[in-house]
């Protein structure tokens, strides 16, 4: 979708600082309605495949396999879903297609796909966790959380902690943390999609409502360096070349977003978060001060292992 609108520099800076982007009611109603038919079936398909019942075949209550097959890990996104399936249509909505291209490139691959259904009255609160992290560099995966129906407060909307994505943790090592200042529970209109950095702390929330909450999840891996993939037409104006420390806080500059503090940050740790964010930002913008080879050489020099 070459005509899909790419993310802006402001949106990319917000993603780097907070670890997520939110697109309210961006998916048309007819796609949402289709999803409410298909996603529960996909959920049953996954359960059957996981249990070894069907080996990945479509449910017996549908006429065709293609719409309900679960894509294998490593499948290129544009080949993973039938164009007329709910997921296939969702990822082709221009706003979403542009966001995907801006974050993980034109041909990302599917890492995994899942449907989360939180039953009405299910008051179990999942512990905070971070989804699987393999690589240690600045490259990242993204996770799309699609809510195809309205979700009112306390109806099981996903819990998340803004700004947590660069504090890498092992799985549910943070599950004991409750009521963090500034944490959010999703509530919003049908068709809202949230895109998470893979490291964002999140959890399934209790559903105090009277209906099941359905959410489609898709994780994507990049297949190219994630460098200047968004609309960079205003990057030079917002990313001052003379502001190495991101210290200029004038409105409209990237620095003001990269130095954003979250309510749960300890005051001194805000500086450490700025270091983490600047590392990611320099990777994304191809800042020569974060060329990988340059960075390793500089680290070795500091350790006295390489002559200056």
Pairing of strands 142-147, 192-197: antiparallel
Domains of the chain: 9-221 (2.60.120.620), 235-302 (no CATH)
| pLDDT tens across the length of the chain (308 residues) | 567 999 999 999 999 999 999 999 999 999 999 999 999 887 777 666 656 654 444 444 434 444 456 788 889 999 999 999 999 999 999 999 999 999 999 999 999 888 999 999 999 999 999 987 777 788 999 999 999 999 999 999 999 999 999 998 888 889 999 899 999 999 999 999 999 999 999 999 999 999 999 999 999 999 999 999 999 999 988 888 777 778 777 788 899 899 999 999 988 888 889 889 999 999 999 887 665 554 444 444 334 443 33
Distance (Å, whole) CA 278 – CA 281: 5
Distance (Å, whole) CA 12 – CA 101: 12
Distance (Å, whole) CA 66 – CA 68: 6
- Under DSSP, the state recorded for 194 is E
Both tokens of residue 2?
Answer: 């070459």
Both tokens of residue 110?
Answer: 């599917």
3-state secondary structure 221-266: ECCCCCCCCCCCCCHHHHCCCCCCCCCCCCCCCHHHHHCCCCCCCC
Cα 101 from chain centroid (whole Å): 13
Distances, alpha carbon 253 to alpha carbons 250, 272, 282, in Å: 6, 20, 15
């Amino acid at each position: 979708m070459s005509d899909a609108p790419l993310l802006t520099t402001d949106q990319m800076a917000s993603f780097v600082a907070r670890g997520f982007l939110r697109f309210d009611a961006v998916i048309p109603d007819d796609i949402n309605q289709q999803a409410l038919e298909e996603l529960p079936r996909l959920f049953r398909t996954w359960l059957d495949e996981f249990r070894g019942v069907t080996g990945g075949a479509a449910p017996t209550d549908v006429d065709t396999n293609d719409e309900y097959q679960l894509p294998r890990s490593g499948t290129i996104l544009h080949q993973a879903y039938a164009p007329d399936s709910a997921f296939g249509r969702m990822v082709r909505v221009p706003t979403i297609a542009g966001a995907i291209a801006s974050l993980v490139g034109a041909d990302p691959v599917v890492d995994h796909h899942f449907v989360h259904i939180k039953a009405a009255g299910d008051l179990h609160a999942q512990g905070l966790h971070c989804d699987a992290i393999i690589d240690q560099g600045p490259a990242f995966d993204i996770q799309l959380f699609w809510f195809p129906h309205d979700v009112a407060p306390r109806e099981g909307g996903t819990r998340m902690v803004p700004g947590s994505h660069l504090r890498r943790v092992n799985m549910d090592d943070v599950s004991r943390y409750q009521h963090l200042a500034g944490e959010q529970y999703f509530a919003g209109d049908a068709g809202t999609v949230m895109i998470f950095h893979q490291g964002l702390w999140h959890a399934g929330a209790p559903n105090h409502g009277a209906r099941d909450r359905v959410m489609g999840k898709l994780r994507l891996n990049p297949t190219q360096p994630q460098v200047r993939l968004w609309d960079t037409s205003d990057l030079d104006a917002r990313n001052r070349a003379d502001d190495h420390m991101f210290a200029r806080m004038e409105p409209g500059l990237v620095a003001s977003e990269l130095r954003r503090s979250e309510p749960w940050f300890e005051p001194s740790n805000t500086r450490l978060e700025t270091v983490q964010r600047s590392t990611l930002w320099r990777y994304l913008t191809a800042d020569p001060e974060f060329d990988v080879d340059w960075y390793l050489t500089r680290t070795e020099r500091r350790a006295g292992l390489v002559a200056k």
